[in-house]
Structure 1
Amino acid sequence: MRPARIAAAAATGVAAGLAVRVARSRHRRSLHPAGRSFAGTVEIFGDLLPGGPARHPATVRVSKGAGTRGGRLDVRGLAVRAHLPGRDLDLLLSTAGRGRLTRHLPMPRRTFAATYGTITAYRLGSGSKIYLLARPDPDGPAIGRSLGEVTPGDRFLLGMRQGEREVPIGRVTLGRLLSPGADAALAFDAVRNSLPGLHPAGLVHGSRALAYRASQRWRGVTPAPENPAAVARTVPG
């Protein structure tokens, strides 16, 4: 089976698991319930986003998929909301492998100092298919194992993979720690908070558009604004 098909099957399984968690939970996240959120910045190196190289304010959340304690094995999450002029851009990444196959699969890790990926594909304005990734900045502070050890000043480098070629595209820096209430109120949506020139693609992401809405309404938070155009451009893949 081709890696892309394996990744799609795995992501579909995740979506099915999410539906079960939604049905069983209330007033809490169905996935990645344990997390910490920070004010921060996203620095874009090239012309990936409108306006070219720039630094944007951001909201960043690090999390654990199953909510295990301390440095125990778990799928770690990195959610980045870049506050662009007039809109938000949400990027959701989780720990993944580094091999040709495993980089398309969520992988449990014992530390936040790991490789993260979007698992499934994004499309650029040109129509090219890419995958987004993130790693700790080697020139930044050491990132810890537990949620409490991820602190202001920690940095992640963003990149994109097209085929076997990786290109650095930016840097995320964590700033002030947000309150637990602010963390609980966050509602990321990588489908609706996307751009025509950088958006998730495929049926798996289309199913996530429904899952995001259901989960957020179920736990009583304000979901992302409606964006039918973003949902429509996601599904064809």
Structure 2
Amino acid sequence: MRIGAHVDSADPLAEAAARGAEVVQFFLADPQSYKNPVPREDVERLRASEVDVFIHAPYRLNVASPNNRIRIPSRKLLMTHARAAAEVGAKGLIVHGGHVEGGDLAAGFANWRKAFEYAENDGGLPLPILIENTAGGDNACARRFDNLARLWDAVGEFGAGFCLDTCHAFAGGEDLVGIVDRVKAITGRIDLIHANDSKGGFDSGQDRHDNLGNGKIDPELVVAAIRASGAPAIVETPGGVKGQSADIALLRERSGA
């Protein structure tokens, strides 16, 4: 069971060492933009490191959108980031489930399928795409697990992976008790856990992470999800090295990792 943190992208391996992290996640470009990644000087170090690497796609990416000006650039950005993530030896590219602005969710699921078809026609994806559940929005493709099942009907055959965020699930209105079994009944897999506490209450729709034990989630439920999944865990919590190191230590101690 490997545990780590989301860190600054400037020197992720140094950030991992400072936290005693076995896994790191970072962005390859501004998460609030459609910018493409730029070549990194630490590619060989990242590929050779014993630290497992995951890359998070920009938040702006939304392949489910009915808006051509969002959906089409998002498809292209998905491929660009997937290739750049594979270049640094990443084990997966995490992508938020997205939402359908004022539209029919069925169209969003169809657009997700088209994104995978587009990728196949563009040479194929070089690493797993890990779709992440989200916390808010009535037209979200991966907030409610009944919608997640519809999404998986559309994309499961393409080998899509899944990233379970505990804050997003709780704030999105999904009970954390037994959550791994419920997710696996839909997706068949959990590839990564985002082990976050929540500042917002249950079903609040608020995507506001907190340090473990400081928010509204019982840390034992987060630990139980990690144990049941057997997946690596990433804390995306505040407090820099100090705050995240404490969260990693808590997870290691209580999970027996």
TM-score normalised over the length of structure 1: 0.25
Question: Which structure features the higher share of helix residues?
Answer: 2
Question: Which structure features the higher share of strand residues?
Answer: 1
Higher Rg of the two aligned structures: 2
| Bigger RCO (CA 8 Å, 6+ sep) | 1
TM-score normalised over the length of structure 2: 0.24
